[in-house]
């Protein structure tokens, strides 16, 4: 699936509040990857062709190649009706809540 570059760029501009410098080489020349990419659960001995697939949009640094992935459902690039589980998952918390 190809990404909508305008939609991704608009989402990035709206949501990226931190410094846009690359954390590796400190330049600021991000490129949007042309395709939505996917990550699958690791099962260890082969590639599973059924089960969960997590779609991501990639941004890469044109100088050093560092890559950032954004959840394509949460960012609105992939319709959530086509992938329900990508927005789920456990929250990352700094400390235990009692």
What is the binding site for Zn ion (CB under 5 A)? 22, 24-25, 61, 63-64, 66
Q: Least distance (Å) from Zn ion to the CB of residue 42?
A: 27
Q: Least distance (Å) from Zn ion to the CB of residue 17?
A: 19
Q: Which is nearer to Zn ion, 54 or 66 (CB)?
A: 66
Cα–Cα distance for residue pair 53/94, rounded to 1 Å: 27
Complete DSSP assignment for the chain: -B--HHHHHHHHHHH--S--S-TTT----EEE-SB-EEE----SSS--SSS--EEEEEEEETTT--EEEEETTTTTSS-GGG-SGGG-SPPP-SS---
Q: Which is nearer to Zn ion, 11 or 66 (CB)?
A: 66
Q: Which is nearer to Zn ion, 3 or 61 (CB)?
A: 61
Q: Least distance (Å) from Zn ion to the CB of residue 59?
A: 11
């Amino acid at each position: 699936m190809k990404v909508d570059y305008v939609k991704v760029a608009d989402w990035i501009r709206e949501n990226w509040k931190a410094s846009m410098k690359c954390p590796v080489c400190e330049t600021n020349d991000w490129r949007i990857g042309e395709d939505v990419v996917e990550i699958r659960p690791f099962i260890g001995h082969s590639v599973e062709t059924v089960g969960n697939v997590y779609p991501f949009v990639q941004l890469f640094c044109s100088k050093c190649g560092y890559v950032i992935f954004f959840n394509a459902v949460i960012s609105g690039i992939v319709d959530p009706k086509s992938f329900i589980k990508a927005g789920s998952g456990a929250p990352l918390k700094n400390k235990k809540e009692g």
